[in-house]
Amino acid sequence: MTRQTQSSVALFFGRSAVRHVKLAVLLAVVAAPLGACSSMQEGFDKLFKKEDAFVDQPPDKLYNEGLYLLNNKHEVTDAAKRFEEVDRQHPYSDWARKSLLMSAYAYYEAHDYDNCIGAASRYITLHPGSPDAAYAQYLIASSNFDQIPDVSRDQGRTQRAIDSLEEVIRKYPTSEYATSAKRKLESARDQLAGKEMAVGRYYQDKKDFTGAINRFKMVVTRYQTTRHVEEALERLTEAYMALGIVSEAQTAAAVLGHNFPDSKWYQDAYNLVRSNGLEPSENKLSWISQAFKKAGLG
């Protein structure tokens, strides 16, 4: 090995490695048959072996391996990656189409919602006319739904869940997933109503009755089918009475009694109105009456 070569090796590997390189090359020369023409490149090839070339695997083998791993809850992420490998190695095969949907499902089972949404969205883009597109859309909606936070936090994810659930119902109304999507949609809407109620109660505690009314009004106009609407009407009775807007207070109590006569919230609203020498009485021109009339509940 020349001094120039030694310097180059030292710069690349460090001084301590030069001795090992020199020894390895010397051994290679001694072991070679007399008269053989071994180049420096051959010496380095022996020191730093190239990895064997990657060999594609049959799609059915990869797919079945994915199914096997999917049966173990601790290996669902590995299952998803095996399904992805089918799509990577055999992108235009029928196995790839099935594997893409299975990878979305495996990611959902692993609670890896972002990857689930990514795989399911890709499936819909590539195979919009497939009978399984409804399920892919449902996986997207379910991934968003499962990430709905509690009412104390921002509800952006809840709105995304509502949007994607409505997409399932709109695009695939006769599918088996539409029924489940409707149930989840009501739950998500209930969550948004709960957020409005929490903020409204906060304003009410701070004596900001106008701010409170605006929040309770949101529940009455947008989320009438949720469990929060009864409390919202009772809180409106309280807030309007506090502001001296008696007619609206009476209307809120009357609408509450008409639609939910057995509600404990109606009993509270009724007692509040009566304590001021009044009776629940509905003003048909009130926004409260109009909102329930529009929804077909009044």
Average of per-residue pLDDT values in the chain: 85
> Which one has a higher pLDDT value, 98 or 54?
98
Dihedral, 205, 211, 216, 222 alpha carbons, nearest 10: -150
Q: Using CA atoms, how far apart are residues 295 and 298, in angstroms rounded to an integer?
A: 8
> Which one has a higher pLDDT value, 31 or 293?
293
The model's pLDDT over 65-124, given as tens digits with 9 standing for 90+, comes to 999 999 988 899 999 999 999 989 999 899 999 999 999 999 999 999 999 999 999 999
Dihedral, 56, 57, 58, 59 alpha carbons, nearest 10: -90
Amino acid at 268: D
Domain 59-189: top CATH class:
mainly alpha
> Which one has a higher pLDDT value, 52 or 219?
219
Answer whether residue 146 shows pLDDT above 50: yes
Of 85, 78, 31, the closest CA to residue 60 belongs to 85
pLDDT at residue 298 in the model: 56
The model's pLDDT over 237-255, given as tens digits with 9 standing for 90+, comes to 999 999 999 999 999 999 9
Burial class of residue 254, CB neighbours in 10 A (0-12, 13-18, 19+)? buried
Domain ranges of the chain: 3-47, 59-189, 207-294
Question: pLDDT band for position 294 (50/70/90)?
Answer: confident
